[in-house]
Amino acid sequence: MHSSVIYGDVFTRHDMEAHPESGSRLRAALSGVPENMRWRPPVRGTERDLERVHRPQYVRWVQEIARGTCFLDANTYVTCHSFEAALYATGSTFAAVERALDGEHLFALVRPPGHHAEPDRAMGFCIFNNAAVAAAKALLSVDRVAILDWDLHHGNGTQKAFYGSDRVLFCSVHEENSFPKTGWVDEIGTGAGRGYTLNAPLAAGSTIADYRYVFDEVFVPALVRFRPDVLIVSAGQDALSDDEHGRMNLEPEDYGVLAGMLIDGTDLALALTLEGGYGPSLGKAIAAIFSALSGKRFVPAEKPLNRGTERVADLLKKVRFC
């Protein structure tokens, strides 16, 4: 499969210099894009796209308040450029979905991130939910969408958007008891969506051994059973060992391991959208992902499983699609 990247300077204009989620973070991610990669321009989403996930009143409120610099909550800011950047982030994520449906891997290097944003609120640096908005739009033309979130933090907003749906399989691996204190193993969906949410909260200090175990034993088999038309990856690289926002121990090449496992296990093109990642080795992790998209496979060093990983996987194996 071919692979490409979406990027535009519009994503650096949503910026607050002293904030962890600033334009400089995106520049660090860009350092990992290979020289020969095909670059695609960003695509602007619409307010109608947003309203498939977010309440119209919330969309209008953000548009009105983002005329200057202020905070939407304790840690999520906007500037006069943020609403436009957020529209391009959602539109570019859906463009990645379209390319993936055509058999091409595409990584949307966008800001602001999205997976914490709920239908009626901003949270955790996220204004609108890029992955959820793209999935909702994709469901207008396909039957099933899978979203896999490997960010350090649980994608509470994405989960909430589809918690009652049997058309979206949401899989999240994250540090247990971390922000926003959601994503426990017993959160499996409700109503028609019961069984279509799989959360793997891993203990602090977990390594690629734990992530591989969850992917091998739970996530990849679930994806194969679900048979999605497209797979969206909420690609946050903040589980790196040098990222001060978490206590996990992944190395840059480990993200290439995870991407390769998804490609080989599902035979699907990946639509990736950037979420978190704030450490010095972020660019190296991005480079490893692109290497996996281009066909390289990484063999990680053997490491012991952390406490509780097998138990989490065993509990998730008992979850069945209804």
**Residues 11/111, Cβ–Cβ less than 8 Å:** yes
Burial of 68 from C-beta contacts in 10 A (0-12 / 13-18 / 19+): exposed
**Residues 126/76, Cβ–Cβ less than 8 Å:** yes
Positions of E strands within 203-262: 230-235
Instruction: Judge whether 116 counts as a catalytic residue.
Output: yes
3-state SS class at 229: coil
Pairing label, strands 77-78, 70-71: antiparallel
Q: How far is CA 235 from CA 101, 275, 306, in A?
A: 18, 5, 22
d(CA 237, CA 240): 6
d(CA 22, CA 117): 17
Of the residues 14, 54, 116, 153, which is catalytic?
116
Please state the φ and ψ torsions of residue 224, each to the nearest 5 degrees. -65, -40
Catalytic residue list = 116
